[in-house]
Every structure is written in structure tokens, then in C-alpha cells.
Amino acid sequence: MKVYIDGKFYDEAKAKVSVFDHGLLYGDGIFEGIRAYHGRVFKLKEHIDRLYCSAKAILLTIPMTPAEMTKAVVATCRKNQITDGYIRLVVTRGVGTLGLNPNRCKNPSVIVIAGEIQLYPQELYERGMDIVTVATTRNLHNAVNPAIKSLNYLNNILAKIEANNAGVEEAIMLNADGYVAECTGDNIFIIKGNELHTPPLSAGALYGITRATALKLGHELGLKTGEPNLTRYDLYNADECFLTGTGAEIIPVVKIDGRVIGTGKPGPMSKQLIEKYHALTKVSGEPI
């Protein structure tokens, strides 16, 4: 594997960052997880746009234009002969001194890794997954805003630990008001009758790119889409439930906190959405 770091490619074993990089020391940086399908990088513009929004929010000046960043991602895929895979795009604050001050970091660092990922076992896509609600509260907007896709993922990791301890793959995180925010790495959706709902971004949900795609596809299927505040009661009584994410794609949920959702099997509308999503990945994206 060849890893892109600040304009050059390095062998995997030699791809390194300084121990004084503030991305390592303080989680001071941002990232994107991106997928490639059939020789195209899916939704690359949307991922690049979100990366620069995250950078602006933390006053991080990316030392490349969006066009240059796009070329770097595609070049890394080409260098690694990736046609179907996963790309991790990272921008750190760069090397600095010990201490929090970001002004001590003069040169932000750009890293692109192109490889493979399988977030969940294949059988979970076929039979659906069980998830639980955990005690760890989603970050507040005026603390670490969930819209910022930062390198500091401890909030999500703590919730993931609770999921692991409960013997499941994913966990639902509530916000400080008790409303459903999102899962540790995915957005969450429910279907009730002819309505497709997902928590609003104001509840603490990430500006998910697959989330936006699912809403669009749901509308095309004739579902009435909405983003109301959701409680666990709403989830328990849904006809169908699924999660979305770049790594996860669209994966059905059949049990939440021990409550069976719908029939206890992936629902018909969820299956249609998955089919439409996979069809879209075959024809859309930045050519490699």
C-alpha cells in the first residue's frame, strides 16, 4: 500500500507522522471516510465540501484547494489500484509544541489512505442487526459540535465500548435532552407507515452524506420524509429501522434494547432502499 502524505507517496511501513503532531497529541484535526465503487469515488465532492466545512469550524487552513484535494484522493486510489475500496482522508493541525495552542503548528498535514473496509459482518446485512441505547450522551453543540468530523472520537468510542460490552455491534446515542441523536458511527432511520424519519441535525446527528442520499432515495420511492425529534418510543414502535454511513452503507436493524422492530426481519422498504443505493454506486462518482 502507498500512503499519500503532504504531496508524496510512502510505503505503508514508512508512512508516519511526528509524535509532536497535534492530531496525535490532542485529536486536533479532521477526517473523511470515503468509498470507491466500480472505479469511481462515490460522492467525492460532498466529502471534500464537508472536510472544508469542518476545517473552517476549527480554524484550520488546509494547504490545498478543494480541486487539488480531489486530485490527491483520486491519485492515491490509482496508485493503489483501487476500484472498490475505502479512502481515509485526514488533515491534522500539524507538528507543534507541547501545549494546546494551535498557533504553534505552522504546517497542517494532509494524509490519504486508500484500502479496504468491511464495517459489519455480511450476515448482519441479510438478517438485520441488534442494537442498544447507551448511557454516553452525544456531544453538545456548544462543546464539540457533532457536525465537525474531528479526530477526537472519544465520545463515540465510549459509546462503542458500551455496545461491545452489551454484545452488539452498534449503539444509539441520545442527546442531553433525551432525544435520539445518532449511533456511534452511523445515522439512524425509521419507517412508520409511509413515512421515513431520521433525527434532525440539531439533535446531534452528523451531516451524513449517506444520510442525505437515503432521504433522497426514500423520496423517490414515494415515502414522506421528515426530520423530527425522535425518542426511543418512536424507534421501538417503528415498522422498519436501518442505519446509514459511508462504511456501513445501509444496514437494517431488527431489534433495539430487546424490542423487536416490525416483523423482526429487514423490511421491504429498507430492502428497496438498499437496492437503489447499490444501483446508484454503480453509475455515480469521480472516475479513478
Q: Which residues are catalytic?
A: 149
How many whole angstroms separate alpha carbon 71 and alpha carbon 18?
A: 25
**Beta-carbon contacts of residue 206 (< 8 Å; ≥ 6 apart):** 146, 147, 149, 182, 187
Torsion-angle region of 257 (φ positive above 0: left; ψ -120 to 50: alpha; else: beta): left
Q: What's the rounded Cα separation, in Å, for the pair 71 and 66?
A: 9
* Residue bearing cell 425529534: 229
Crossing angle, helix 44-57 and helix 66-79, to 10 degrees?
130
